[in-house]
């Protein structure tokens, strides 16, 4: 029989149980990251979803905005979300991703053209991959039956935070540039 001895703190009144929340990460690219971040924050901030913008899916370490815009790094402008799946499901976030941009255009959203503006879901687990594929099939059938979705569903790689002035850009700059294709379609 195995016994473990625990030493108790002398001041038990200072003990505070900690509530642990299991969070997950979701990463999406849907054109200019300012509008994508703004819409996720607007619609899911109340559910505890946090956002940050950055670059992922490329071949250069620590790229900056100018490098990514050149198209040479192969990174996408992306939004990384941290969420509690007890409050909002990954499937809901994926469906919203499709709702808020045009997933049928390769390497562009509206006037923003280049591989950095591609439509992509960067999954962080096998379960996220399967969910993304299932939601994509449903969205294809229900909303784009005559136009193929070109969204990439690929493994997440290193996410590099964008420069500070890009974070929460449209909150700090109301009326700043928003890609005209970032709106809810259904």
State yes or no: is 32 an active-site residue: yes
Distances (CA, A) of 160 to 65, 79, 124: 11, 10, 15
Q: Does position 6 have pLDDT exceeding 60, yes or no? A: no
Phi/psi region, residue 177 (left: phi>0; alpha: psi -120 to 50; beta: rest), is beta
Distance CA(63)–CA(66), nearest Å, equals: 8
Q: Which of 9, 28, 12 is nearest to 123 (CA)?
A: 28
Bigger pLDDT: 90 vs 4: 90
Q: What's the mean pLDDT in 62-66?
A: 97
Distance CA(40)–CA(12), nearest Å, equals: 42
Distance CA(33)–CA(52), nearest Å, equals: 9
- Identify any residues that bridge with 29 across adjacent strands, giving them in sequence order: 120
Q: Which residue out of 32, 69, 87, 179 is catalytically annotated?
A: 32
Q: Does position 12 have pLDDT exceeding 80, yes or no? A: no
Q: What's the mean pLDDT in 166-186?
A: 89
Q: Does position 1 have pLDDT exceeding 90, yes or no? A: no
Structure tokens at 70: 């050149």
The DSSP call for residue 28 is E
pTM, two decimals, is: 0.88
Q: What's the mean pLDDT in 136-142?
A: 98
């Amino acid at each position: 029989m195995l016994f473990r001895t625990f030493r108790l703190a002398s001041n038990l009144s200072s003990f505070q149980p900690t509530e642990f929340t299991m969070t997950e990460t979701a990463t999406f690219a849907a054109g200019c990251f300012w509008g994508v971040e703004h819409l996720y924050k607007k619609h899911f901030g109340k559910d505890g979803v946090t956002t940050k913008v950055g670059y992922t899916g490329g071949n250069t370490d620590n790229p900056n905005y100018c490098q990514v815009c050149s198209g040479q790094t192969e990174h996408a402008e992306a939004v990384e979300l941290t969420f509690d799946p007890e409050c909002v499901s990954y499937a809901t976030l994926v469906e919203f991703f499709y709702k808020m941009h045009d997933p049928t255009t390769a390497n562009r959203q509206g006037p923003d053209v280049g591989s950095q503006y591609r439509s992509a879901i960067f999954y962080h687990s096998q379960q996220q991959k399967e969910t993304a594929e299932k939601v994509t099939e449903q969205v294809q059938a229900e909303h784009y039956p005559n136009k193929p979705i070109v969204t990439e569903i690929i493994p997440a790689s290193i996410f590099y935070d964008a420069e500070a002035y890009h974070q929460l850009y449209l909150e700090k700059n109301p009326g700043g540039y928003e890609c005209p294709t970032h709106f809810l379609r259904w």
